[in-house]
Amino acid sequence: MFSLIRYDKITAILCAFILLTFCQVKAQRAQPKFKVIAFYTAQEDKAHISFVHEANPWFAKMATEYNFVYDSTKNWDNLNAGFLKNYQVVLFLDTRPEAPAQREAFEKYMKGGGAWMGFHFSAFALTPSKYNQDWDWYHKEFLGSGQYVSNIWRPSPAVLDIDTNFPAMKYLPKTFSTSPNEWYRWQYDLRQNADIRILASIDSASFPLGTGPKQSEIWHSGFYPVLWTNIKYRMIYMNIGHNDMDYEHKYDNTDKTLSYTFANKTEAKMILDALLWLGNKD
């Protein structure tokens, strides 16, 4: 009788321990792995607006599936130390900060160990224009690309060469074809920058790239980086984020989106894997 009671107590204790351990593991899994804040403007350029409207719900869905937090804001004044301390990753979906205080806060955030992913127009700078190159740290040191020089037209898919030796890219194929995009050319040759590691570039199989009508908007040869990281920071820039639009109103008068970036499964995986790498520092 005594042995039976003792056995029942031991069993009860073991069951309680197992239940407690299970609850602790479940609670740990419920905690988000990291928090993301996306800044955007979504004004003027129809293709950039289309991308932002596509990106925000897609990232929110991925956050639910992969256990991270995704927030977004159009208020660039939130780019300050007090606000940024709540987030491990910052995204620039279309533009860049303009106010000196915003720029200073972002630079300190990155130098303090923060992570960042930027898309397409977030690297744009051209003097003279509405977006002058007046931020040397960002365009020359951080991105390394300097000013925008030119682009293809119209938005076209390209075959990308992927550096699958880089952790964020290792689950991708060596090459794949993207959704249509407006590809940029830059002032500086990133291959000459020791701090820059190019993660994807346009494969020669893409040429001729673009349809014009201007001949300068069609690329027939050359080296064009598309994704890269600066090894001094935890960052990835992607020259992706310009959907193809019905600019000529061939279909209707609603500025219809003709292509979607995240509809390309491999391209979407590349973006997601990059974000997970940025958020999971270990």
Number of domains, the chain: 2
Is residue 132 domain-shared with residue 234, that is, in the same domain?
Answer: yes
Considering the domain architecture, whether residues 105 and 240 belong to the same structural domain is answered as yes
Domain extent for 24: 1-31
Kindly state whether residues 11 and 99 are assigned to the same domain.
no
Residue 220 and residue 254 share a domain: yes
Query: Is there a single domain that holds both residue 15 and residue 88?
Result: no
Judgement on whether residues 202 and 131 belong to the same structural domain of the protein: yes
Q: Find the CATH number of the domain harbouring 221.
A: 3.40.50.880
Angle between helix 265-279 and 46-66 (nearest 10): 60
In degrees and rounded to multiples of 5, residue 161 shows phi and psi of -90, 125
Question: Residue 181: helix, strand or coil by DSSP?
Answer: strand
| 13 and 62 inside one domain | no
Verify that 88 and 202 share a domain, yes or no.
yes
For 230, the 3-state DSSP assignment is: strand
Q: Do strands 225-230 and 234-238 pair parallel, antiparallel, or not at all (unpaired)? A: antiparallel
Kindly state the helix (H) or strand (E) to which residue 4 belongs, with its residue range.
helix 2-30
Question: How do beta strands 89-92 and 148-151 pair?
Answer: unpaired
Whether the pTM exceeds 0.85: the reply is: yes
Instruction: Give dist(CA 170, CA 241) in Å, integer.
Output: 22
40 with 24, same domain? no
Q: Are 185 and 66 in the same domain?
A: yes
Residue 7's pLDDT is what? 52
Give the model's pLDDT for residue 249: 84
Q: Give the separation between CA 202 and CA 252, rounded to whole angstroms.
A: 33
Q: Do 206 and 72 sit in the same domain of this protein?
A: yes
Max Cα–Cα distance, the chain, nearest Å: 95
Reading the chain (282 residues) residue by residue, the pLDDT tens digits are 545 555 555 555 554 555 554 444 444 457 999 999 999 999 989 999 999 999 999 999 999 999 999 999 999 999 999 999 999 999 999 999 999 999 999 999 999 999 999 999 999 999 999 999 999 999 999 999 999 999 999 999 999 999 999 999 999 999 999 999 999 999 999 999 999 999 999 999 999 999 999 999 999 999 999 999 999 999 999 999 999 999 888 888 778 999 999 999 999 999 999 999 999 976
